[in-house]
Structure 1
Amino acid sequence: MPSHQQTRSAERTGRPPLTERRKAETRLEVARAAVRLFLAKGVADTSVEEIAAAAGISARTLWRYFPSKESCVMPLLVIGIESTAARLRSWGGDQGVSELLSTLGIGHAETREAATEMLNLVRLTQTEPGLRAVWLEAHREAEPAFAEALAGRAGLAEPDLVTAIQAAMINGALRVAVEHHAFNAETPESLAAATAEALTIAARGLPA
């Protein structure tokens, strides 16, 4: 349990208490270990015990964090969702689509290692149904977060039909862009360009 001093410090800095940060770091390490093992051995031949050992924790601890071995990869996906939602919240009401693309592009200024890690995970979803389900669940959870951010930008207390549809368009564009990029074995450096192109297409809407 965090001390009173840790809690006060977290409140001042806007960061979660140390124990929560430690849990998040552990979950992320488990996710990375799971992806490495899934790539090397496949999901079926990878055990929870192996993932736990690679992450430096016990299998019992891993089960406290995740309901299945496939769900171990969720923290890697949540990072992108939270980053995109934060950038949507910072998109000013007086700014246009070009400013949105610029804002979202910052979120994709990742290291080559991080981009490769994400693309490897997405490639696995093409052949591993369990991971595909986790990938789609992550995007299902992302949509309300995006809609909430867009509603705030529009000065609404909660999402309406317009902001819900806009969120779905952004969510779909991002998912398809990453999948297209990953499944076509393109280089990590062009992931941001693929994302920007997808969002531009979505912004144009349906053909006349």
Structure 2
Amino acid sequence: MTDEVSPPARTRTGRPPRSEQQKGELRTRVAHEAVRLFAQRGVTATTGEAIASAAGISVRTLWRHFPSKESCVRPFLDEALTGAAELLRHWPADTSLVDFLRQCYAAGVITPPGDELLTVLALMHREPALRTVWLEVHEDALPVFAELLAARWGASARSLEVRVHAATLNGALRAAVEEYERDADPREDPTACIFAHLDAALSAASRGFPT
């Protein structure tokens, strides 16, 4: 009787898979170059090939991480909404949302928007394709806010009341940023302006519909 010989183990060929950290760094690098090129040339005149070349990657790698050239700006938008969600996780149970955010602003714990994010917001005013990405980001943020509010109230994230409040919060954030984007004054502090609009939006929401 002869001993069975096991087949040799398959070895992986090609480039090893990237870690999550490496993927994040790559996406940020692509986003940085995309924003720079969009600001210089406009979205229409900027190709995916140009973005990939500027970021030092292949076009194939670019499309593996981003479905379109416009979506290359998403990391900066996602980062802003992720920061908002993280801040809300520290919202005390005995404090209203408006008061909590006012306290955060006074304490200087609200992260100022970066230059790339401000550039994206400015570009949205004249680039409809980037506005579409902005709306997609807010659509994806809805379930995140619903989960946060549901956990706070001990309710289901699928309940109508929770989803309405999540949509209100999401809408207030969106309206505040769009109000800033529409009337941005380079001489004013972006953080102060956006917070003032957000404070006004949430205060209006807390008063409910006018009779």
Deviations 1:3-59 (A, max 9, x none): xxxxxxxxxxxxxxx810111121112112111111110011001121112222222
Residue 159 to residue 107, structure 1, CA distance change in 2 (3 Å):
farther
Is the aligned partner of 1:164 residue 2:167? Answer: no
Give unpaired runs (5+ residues) of structure 2: 1-17
Name the structure 1 match of 2:63: 63
Name the structure 1 match of 2:6: none
Give unpaired runs (5+ residues) of structure 1: 1-17
Residue 107 to residue 22, structure 1, CA distance change in 2 (3 Å):
farther
Distance (Å, rounded) in 2 between the aligned partners of 1:80 and 1:137: 14
Deviations 1:145-164 (A, max 9, x none): 10110000001243421211
Structure showing greater radius of gyration is 2
Is contact 2:37–2:51 with CA below 8 Å preserved after alignment?
Answer: yes
State the number of aligned residues. Answer: 188
Name the structure 2 match of 1:41: 41
Is the aligned partner of 1:204 residue 2:210? Answer: no
Is the aligned partner of 1:73 residue 2:73? Answer: yes
Deviations 1:56-110 (A, max 9, x none): 2222211110111011111111112212222223223222234432476466422
Give the alignment's TM-score, normalised by structure 2.
Answer: 0.80
* Structure 1 runs of 4+ with >3 Å offset: 102-108
After TM superposition, the structure 1 = structure 2 runs for residues 129-168 of structure 1, keeping only pairs within 5 Å, are 129-168=128-167
Name the structure 1 match of 2:112: 110
Amino acid at match of 2:142: E
**RMSD of Structure 2 on Structure 1 (CA):** 2.1
Is contact 1:150–1:159 with CA below 8 Å preserved after alignment?
Answer: no
Amino acid at match of 1:133: T
Residue 133 to residue 104, structure 1, CA distance change in 2 (3 Å):
farther
Distance (Å, rounded) in 1 between the aligned partners of 2:57 and 2:103: 37
State the Cα distance separating 1:126 from its structure 2 match: 2.4
Distance (Å, rounded) in 2 between the aligned partners of 1:45 and 1:107: 38
Residue 160 to residue 103, structure 1, CA distance change in 2 (3 Å):
farther
Name the structure 1 match of 2:120: 121
State the Cα distance separating 1:184 from its structure 2 match: 0.9
Is contact 2:173–2:198 with CA below 8 Å preserved after alignment?
Answer: yes
Give the alignment's TM-score, normalised by structure 1.
Answer: 0.81
Determine which structure has the larger helix proportion and give its number.
1
